[in-house]
């Protein structure tokens, strides 16, 4: 079984990544790294820089993942700053900002960046469209309790293990796994 | 008259800097540079990295300035991400997030970073305490129309040219100017 190191500070994210990649025959290891993220309007740039630093530190094939919730009526906010916004104003804040707005559409984007030499970075994107719920659901982490993917009426948090059926992160990781299977083994 | 290059993307900010430094006998020149800002909880780290990159590009004595509005009831939000937050949810968003909250206290912090060799970075901090207004005032830029400094009942925007009497940015720049006058000339 091929092994890959997933570098992140977020263990909950790692568990998701691990289960998605295992189903594709890839064993994920966890490296807890607090990688510098740059402030930019582009999720791509953040992922590329993080992959570079992770490789520089670990010197083995790595993936990093970066995702963001982009709310249409808020001009893409919280976007690439989703973790900071979550830690401060949180889901309550997002719901408050959407009070009285008709358009509750949003999308979750995930970018997986892979490198096995530190200079070539390969990017894989996943995206899921949906809406922001009216109330915060129980359970889940991050924005999962307020994001309802298109085609269902439950939030990511309520979908629990079924979440991966819709997830932007799963989508990006599967693209990566397929590319790895085809081009690298 | 001593000259210094102020590196920023923000011309409005430059005009403030120019007038504050002129009063201290320093002529400021403007270099429009789009410097990379890192994502971190520390305004200090952002300013240091920006000063390094500005010096690397310009190779002459430079200052950069970074500021943020820290709202107590929002756990410091928007803080170091103030410009991004302003561009997306704006002042409307901040007021919305504070609806129903009793504590409207906030502070504005400014960090000026100076370097004349690219490796030693000198930091100067200014801070002003205040509150977030109930309504958005006319005029001003950024968060000026919603920030009321302690001791007055007008927003930064309404204070117009008197703003500099209270400003965190002025405070930081004056510390810098005094240090420069004493240690460097």
Contacts of B185 (CB under 8 A, 6+ apart): B2
Domain extents in chain B? 2-183
**Token pair of B138, please?**
């006319």
Percent of chain B with pLDDT strictly greater than 70: 98
Partners of A64 on chain B (C-beta within 8 Å) are none
Determine the distance in angstroms separating the CA of B162 from the nearest CA of chain A, rounded to an integer.
32
H or E element, residue A6? strand A2-8
* Contact status, residue B122 vs residue B173, Cβ threshold 8 Å: no
Mean per-residue pLDDT for A60-67?
94
**Token pair of B29, please?**
């020149």
Predicted structure pTM score: 0.79
B103-126 tens-digit pLDDT:
999 999 999 999 999 889 999 999
Option in A37, A93, A99 nearest B38 (CB): A37
**Token pair of A4, please?**
């890959």
B51: pLDDT strictly greater than 80: yes
CATH class of the B2-183 domain in this structure? alpha beta
CB-facing half-sphere around the CA of A155: CA atoms within 13 A: 19
Give bridge partners of residue A131 from the DSSP assignment: A105, A148
A131-183 tens-digit pLDDT:
999 999 998 889 999 999 999 999 999 998 888 888 899 999 999 999 988 86
Whether ipTM exceeds 0.85: no
Partners of A81 on chain B (C-beta within 8 Å) are 39, 81, 84-85
B35: pLDDT strictly greater than 70: yes
* Contact status, residue B96 vs residue B134, Cβ threshold 8 Å: no
Handedness of CA B95, B98, B102, B104 (dihedral sign): negative
Mean per-residue pLDDT for B57-81?
94
Query: CA A157, B82, B19: angle at the middle one, nearest 5?
Result: 180
Contacts of B86 (CB under 8 A, 6+ apart): B78, B142, B143
Is residue B66 part of the annotated active site? The answer reads: yes
Q: Quick one: pLDDT at residue B118?
A: 86
A33: pLDDT strictly greater than 60: yes
Q: Give the total residue count for chain B.
A: 185
Query: SS3 of B130, please?
Result: strand
Burial of B117 (0-12, 13-18, 19+ CB in 10 A): exposed
* Contact status, residue B89 vs residue A97, Cβ threshold 8 Å: yes
């Amino acid at each position: 079984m091929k092994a890959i190191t997933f570098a992140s500070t977020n263990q909950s994210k790692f568990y998701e990544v691990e289960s998605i990649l295992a189903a594709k025959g890839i064993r994920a290891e966890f490296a807890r790294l607090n990688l510098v993220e740059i402030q930019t309007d582009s999720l791509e740039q953040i992922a590329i820089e993080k992959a570079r630093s992770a490789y520089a530190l670990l010197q083995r094939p790595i993936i990093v993942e970066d995702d963001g919730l982009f709310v249409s009526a808020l001009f893409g906010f919280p976007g690439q700053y989703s973790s900071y916004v979550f830690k401060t104003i949180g889901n309550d804040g997002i719901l408050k900002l959407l009070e009285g707005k008709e358009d509750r559409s949003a999308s979750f984007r995930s970018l997986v960046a892979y490198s096995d030499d530190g200079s070539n970075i390969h990017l894989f994107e996943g995206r899921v469209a949906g809406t922001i719920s009216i109330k915060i659901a129980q359970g889940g982490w991050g924005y999962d309790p307020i994001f309802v993917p298109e085609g269902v009426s439950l939030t990511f948090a309520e979908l629990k293990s079924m979440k991966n059926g819709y997830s932007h992160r799963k989508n990006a990781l599967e693209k990566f796994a397929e590319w790895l299977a085809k081009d690298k083994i």
